[in-house]
Structure 1
């Protein structure tokens, strides 16, 4: 069976458009978190957010524009002029737009969607939501669909736009930091929300090679858990189970980098670190670098797995582990490294990406560089 590969990645983040733009800012330790210039809400008090400001929006809903821009870039990177015939389009988001195509009301334009229109037209589509782990659940779904021969390619796309509903939902549970979030820092105080779009093209290595690509990032293993009865986003046992399952499926004999979910909450970051320590300890691995993008662009909710996967793929390609922006005093770690500056990773081969969401949604994807 041919490997399942990521042949195209697209991002629109508060740093701007493109995976390269994001990666340069991430490895440079920069942060885009700042008081909002456009976003307003009765519960918003001026906290730093990751806002997309330098991008032409037109009249379409922001989520649709963000997702379409990312999908366009992912298809371009995969050398595909459009979504291939028979391909599966997986849209990730809080909820789909109206099925009858009726216009979104003003109160829903920043909340519902995106939809499978515009450049995403042409494939069979479905909407998938597993809270903030949605993108990684979509990758696991795509992996199985491609291995089963159910589709020639899968395009995963989604977006988030700063909006009152989601901001209020995080504010009411006191998850929002009044300062810019600092994942893994001993002084962290919660999350910062961000917005943007992400997209991935997955297909078999044989199909990619047939049109002249030499794919180098393989989806080597996935692990997904819905921990029924556990409403928290980061349960230590479920995290460890996901990581073990994904590593075993990937037949990983090493782990060179982990791109963590780490949003900046005291409970969530600690649970993730404890789970990582346990799993790498079982396998006698030491010095595994771990970092998060949330201190740079904020938490992009359902599509946050796209910048996570992009960072892990670029770490494998460049042999550099990015720092966590804003990290000043790292939590204590025994077998892990929490870099404050870029870290060279010799011979980087395997990288893991974690995503966790409310409702007990937990997922890990392990990537391997060919």
Structure 2
């Protein structure tokens, strides 16, 4: 196990600006859903989770850039860094990079030049990498950054990305019939699809030596990570692949016990069931204690390639407060294997040392992260 410090996080979601706005709304069980007004089109569902204007001040076509910048600034502030240090790694996660022609828009990723300039840096002072692994992109980015830091290539990394509502990605969800007509209810027995959300996220990672050397107490430690691309299923989640990914992450972390799994669970019938079955398999391997399972996507929707950012913030909240976040929108939990406890409402627990964060995407992109309490 080689841990790196999760020095700071930043987040913008439909619940508002900042990680605490998200965490507080998640604990309240708020469902920040509304009607799609950003663009026109005939879709199976017009229910979305849009970021309020007060949380993202941007001109049309630049919302993704604005949300990414806001989240990055929050993460640096939480990490007690006045600017991005020279020599840092910057991992941009997005469905599509900025085009070679320089076209702007909410479908392309944020322009690295503008982002870095706003953070007090430039492309010639850092290493910039773009990663795209569908809805698991941000988790893949965290794993990549951890490997980079452990390899000694840098001592600081910023992982940042955003997802803004746009007709291209929304239509792609509609074509494969994944949208919920009335709003996503992850892990519910009558779930019927996802609700697309938007938002931006970022986290700062540091080597343990760097964090301890400057006396910074991290929000958590990223102790394990596993990424697996399994192309046997183009769209649906595969139980065996999910199970293998979680087991590998725990093995990487050197952890034999898990206190909570923050599920990818988006609200689709097949995906949620496959993940619950895989967690059941994990629970049987770990011992007699039930493994709690919940999802944030009934609160802020599915942020697609940026979905791991709120998941990591939820995991940090659990480790900080020893409170299991509930699953907003959940009425009747789906049937789960023995050893899996679906969490409906927030619950205080006696132990909060290790949490597993799952993030899965189309084309068999699977990632699991293990976060451990800062006081280790």
Category of TM-score, reference length = shorter chain: over 0.9
**Gap change, CA 1:363 and 1:285, over 3 Å in 2:** farther
Deviations 1:191-240 (A, max 9, x none): 00000100010011221222231225111111111002321241100000
Give the match for residue 362 of structure 2: 358
Stretch of structure 1 that moved more, 221-230 or 196-205: 221-230
User: Root-mean-square deviation (CA), in Å?
Assistant: 1.5
**1:167 maps to 2:170:** yes
**Structure 1 residues 4-19: aligned runs within 5 Å:** 4-19=4-19
Give the match for residue 195 of structure 1: 198
Q: What is the CA-CA distance between 1:99 and the residue it aligns to?
A: 3.4
3-state secondary structure, aligned to 2:171: helix
3-state secondary structure, aligned to 1:308: helix
Q: Is the 8 A contact 2:2 2:253 kept in 1?
A: no
Give the match for residue 39 of structure 1: 38
Which of 283, 306, 315 is the aligned partner of 2:318? 315
**Structure 1 residues 285-304: aligned runs within 5 Å:** 285-304=288-307
Q: What is the CA-CA distance between 1:165 and the residue it aligns to?
A: 0.6
**1:116 maps to 2:112:** yes
Give the match for residue 213 of structure 2: 210
Give the match for residue 258 of structure 1: 261
Q: Is the 8 A contact 1:209 1:215 kept in 2?
A: no
Deviations 1:292-315 (A, max 9, x none): 111000000001001001101110
Which of 266, 271, 279 is the aligned partner of 2:274? 271
How many residues align structurally?
A: 364
Q: Is the 8 A contact 2:230 2:363 kept in 1?
A: yes
**1:3 maps to 2:34:** no
**Gap change, CA 1:285 and 1:33, over 3 Å in 2:** farther
Q: Is the 8 A contact 1:220 1:366 kept in 2?
A: yes
Contiguous gaps of at least 5 residues in structure 1: none
Q: Is the 8 A contact 2:291 2:340 kept in 1?
A: yes
**1:179 maps to 2:182:** yes
Give the match for residue 339 of structure 1: 343
**Gap change, CA 1:274 and 1:173, over 3 Å in 2:** same
Q: What is the CA-CA distance between 1:119 and the residue it aligns to?
A: 4.1
Q: Is the 8 A contact 1:319 1:346 kept in 2?
A: yes
Contiguous gaps of at least 5 residues in structure 2: none
User: Following the alignment from structure 2 to structure 1, what is the Cα–Cα distance between the partners of residues 179 and 60?
Assistant: 30
**1:50 maps to 2:49:** yes
User: Following the alignment from structure 1 to structure 2, what is the Cα–Cα distance between the partners of residues 345 and 233?
Assistant: 33
Deviations 1:157-184 (A, max 9, x none): 0000011011111101110000110001
Q: Is the 8 A contact 1:2 1:204 kept in 2?
A: no
User: Following the alignment from structure 2 to structure 1, what is the Cα–Cα distance between the partners of residues 72 and 219?
Assistant: 20
3-state secondary structure, aligned to 1:117: helix
3-state secondary structure, aligned to 1:5: strand
Give the match for residue 61 of structure 1: 62
3-state secondary structure, aligned to 1:221: strand
User: Following the alignment from structure 2 to structure 1, what is the Cα–Cα distance between the partners of residues 318 and 151?
Assistant: 29
User: Following the alignment from structure 1 to structure 2, what is the Cα–Cα distance between the partners of residues 368 and 177?
Assistant: 34
Q: What is the CA-CA distance between 1:350 and the residue it aligns to?
A: 0.5
3-state secondary structure, aligned to 1:359: helix
User: Following the alignment from structure 1 to structure 2, what is the Cα–Cα distance between the partners of residues 12 and 43?
Assistant: 28
3-state secondary structure, aligned to 1:43: coil
